[in-house]
Amino acid sequence: MERISWDQYYMAQSHLLALRSTCERLMVGATIVRDKRIIAGGYNGSVSGSIHCIDEGCYVIDGHCVRTIHAEMNSLLQCAKFGVATDGAEMYVTHFPCLQCCKSIIQAGIQTVYYANDYKNNPYAKELFSDAGIKVEKVILDQVAVDLHKQEKKDYVDTLLEKLETTSMNKEEIEKAKLEVERLFK
């Protein structure tokens, strides 16, 4: 059996952390690693003890949910809270960091950012990372069986069941449905 790479291992950890997210808009996880050791992890969610998006919905101002703290910030704040140095560490995050997280990552001394998914990749964030000499690399999680489509599968099956109850599907719709099921369940 071939072992997964370190990058795959840490990215899988970030995807697992994302499953703890309490924001309904995007589930994000971040893992900070130094010397091949996980030193912190975070996910996007509300301030400790506060109302969560999953309870009352997102609190959106100017297109951003202001109720949540981003995964990157939560992982950096965990290090600050427990006195763990981040200088020279690496961060694995499920989505490309936003501009505010980018600035915090730079200030925290993170040397490399690995991300799995593009998400509104801000050109200025890319420029800041480059100017700071921070390596940014996309790492596709492809060797670990982590179900990243759980809700999508449920929604698709629910929609399919509704269609079957209310209409008779033609051959083309059935073939399209089969392809979608194959994609989601492979």
Dihedral pair phi/psi, residue 141, rounded to 5°:
-80, 105
Among the options 72, 127, 152, 165, which is catalytic?
72
Residue 12 CA to residue 115 CA, distance in Å, equals 11
Contacts of 161 (CB under 8 A, 6+ apart): none
Active site includes 72?
yes
Q: Are 74 and 44 in contact (CB under 8 A)?
A: yes
Residue 178 CA to residue 59 CA, distance in Å, equals 37
Q: Are 91 and 105 in contact (CB under 8 A)?
A: yes
Asked whether the CA dihedral 66, 69, 73, 79 is positive or negative, the reply is: positive
Across the chain, the runs of DSSP E, i.e. the strands, are: 29-34, 37-43, 45-46, 60-61, 64-65, 68-69, 90-95, 112-117, 135-138
CA distances, 119 to each of 67, 93, 94, 109 (Å): 19, 11, 9, 23
Residues catalogued as catalytic: 72
